[in-house]
């Protein structure tokens, strides 16, 4: 065991950090301890086990202690390390943006399939509402560009100026500036007017938690993720109403709206689509068989 004279090894410090995080009620204590140590040491998780008996330098130990203390206060790992992988792309994140979730990749898959099916379009205009980190816009733009897609333009908006700074960093990092343009403002309001009736597809993962339910969420979400990225109004559906309503001034006939939804919201979001005059309404489930996405067509 380590004492004052011998600094702890990777394995010893991992053990201690894991026990500490577990005592704080964190289910993923070992994984988180490894991710944070890997971050501090600049190593992949697997390399921690290759170098398990390597002693930590005191500066590394100090940085690791700070990271573990933050995690002990339930700060999400992604905010501590400042990045999150989404659609195989490492994205910058900070507490001004929602941490992109793997479920949202379902929307990216749908949009990429749609682009692949083309339908003879020379130009495709996509609008993303509430882009946050830019996860959807950047991964669609990056993948489409690398597949040789031409004529694609993605217009992504967010009401949060701070979120857009992170989105811009991700656009720059993945060099998708030629297809992805960012606009600050309320939903479709900041978009150029030339886009009226020119948009082929509107995609969004809007805030969809009912206001009352936010205090029941895990501390990682409730205390750290931006409220403006979560709060979907009294019934959680406020953004769906507005998106269906306001998108009609921008969509081409036959254009699509692709929306992430919370589990249990499927029927409501489909009913709303009907009320606003959309057709071809489909509910999609994610890999855990939860209601996750509604796709509709503008007649
Ligand atoms: C659930 S997050 C989604 C972030 C990102 N698209 C993703 O999937 O990871 C919702 C985003 O909508 C933004 N937002 C909230 N109200 C908005 C509004 N009225 N207009 C534009 N964006 C808004 C929030 O700032 C937040 O970035």
Residue 232 has pLDDT above 50, yes or no: yes
Q: What are the phi and psi torsion angles at 10 (to 5°)?
A: -55, -45
Torsion, Cα 121 125 127 133, to 10 degrees, reads 100
> Is ligand 1 within 6 A of the CB of residue 187?
yes
CA distance 237 to 264: 12
CA gap 65, 45 in Å, rounded:
18
CA 261 from centroid of its chain's CA atoms? 13
Domain boundaries, the chain: 10-73, 86-298
Q: Which CATH number fits domain 86-298: 3.20.20.105, 3.40.50.150, 1.10.10.10, 3.40.50.300?
A: 3.40.50.150
Q: Among the listed ranges 118-132, 138-152, 264-278, which one has the minimum average pLDDT value?
A: 118-132
Name the architecture of domain 10-73.
Orthogonal Bundle (1.10)
- Model confidence over 109-134: pLDDT tens digits? 999 999 999 766 789 999 999 999 99
CA of 132 to the centre of ligand 1 (A): 5
Instruction: Kindly tell me if the per-residue pLDDT of 2 is higher than 50.
Output: no
Q: Check residue 74 and give its pLDDT.
A: 98
Parallel, antiparallel or unpaired: strands 251-260 and 291-298 = antiparallel
Token output for 136: 């959807």
Q: Which atom of ligand 1 lies at the shortest distance from residue 204's CA?
A: 6
Question: Which of 147, 149, 141, 203 lies closest to 172, judged by CA?
Answer: 141
Residue with tokens 């949202």: 104
- Measure 55 CA to ligand 1 centroid, in angstroms: 43
What are 17-66's pLDDT values in tens digits? Answer: 999 999 999 999 999 999 999 999 999 999 999 999 999 999 999 999 99
Which tokens hold the place of 89? Answer: 């792309």
Tell me how many helices (H) and strands (E) the chain has. Answer: 11, 9
C-alpha distances (whole Å) from 172 to each of 65, 124, 163, 169, 192 are: 32, 22, 14, 5, 22
Ligand 1 pocket residue status of 262, Cβ below 6 Å? no
């Amino acid at each position: 065991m380590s004492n004052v004279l011998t600094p702890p090894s990777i394995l010893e410090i991992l053990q201690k950090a894991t026990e500490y995080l577990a005592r704080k009620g964190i289910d993923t204590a070992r994984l988180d301890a490894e991710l944070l140590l890997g971050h501090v040491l600049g190593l992949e998780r697997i390399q921690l086990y290759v170098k398990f008996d390597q002693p930590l330098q005191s500066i590394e130990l100090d940085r690791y202690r700070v990271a573990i203390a933050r995690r002990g206060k339930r700060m999400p790992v992604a905010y501590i390390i400042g990045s999150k992988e989404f659609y195989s792309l490492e994205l910058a994140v900070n507490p001004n943006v929602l941490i992109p979730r793997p479920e949202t990749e379902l929307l990216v898959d749908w949009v990429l399939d749609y682009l692949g099916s083309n339908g003879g379009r020379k130009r495709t205009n996509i609008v993303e509402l509430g882009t946050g980190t830019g996860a959807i816009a950047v991964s669609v733009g990056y993948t489409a560009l690398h597949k040789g897609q031409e004529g694609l333009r993605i217009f992504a908006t967010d009401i949060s100026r701070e979120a857009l700074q992170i989105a811009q960093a991700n656009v720059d990092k993945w060099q998708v500036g030629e297809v992805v343009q960012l606009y600050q403002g309320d939903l479709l309001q900041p978009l150029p007017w030339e886009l009226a009736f020119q948009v082929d597809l509107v995609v969004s993962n809007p805030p969809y938690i009912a206001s009352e339910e936010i205090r029941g969420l895990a501390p990682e979400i409730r205390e750290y993720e931006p409220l403006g990225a979560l709060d979907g109004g009294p019934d959680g559906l406020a953004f769906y109403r507005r998106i269906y309503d306001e998108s009609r001034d921008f969509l081409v006939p036959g254009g699509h709206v692709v929306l992430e939804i919370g589990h249990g919201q499927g029927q409501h979001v489909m009913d709303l689509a009907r009320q606003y005059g959309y057709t071809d309404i489909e509910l999609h489930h994610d890999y855990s068989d939860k209601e996750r996405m509604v796709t509709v067509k503008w007649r």
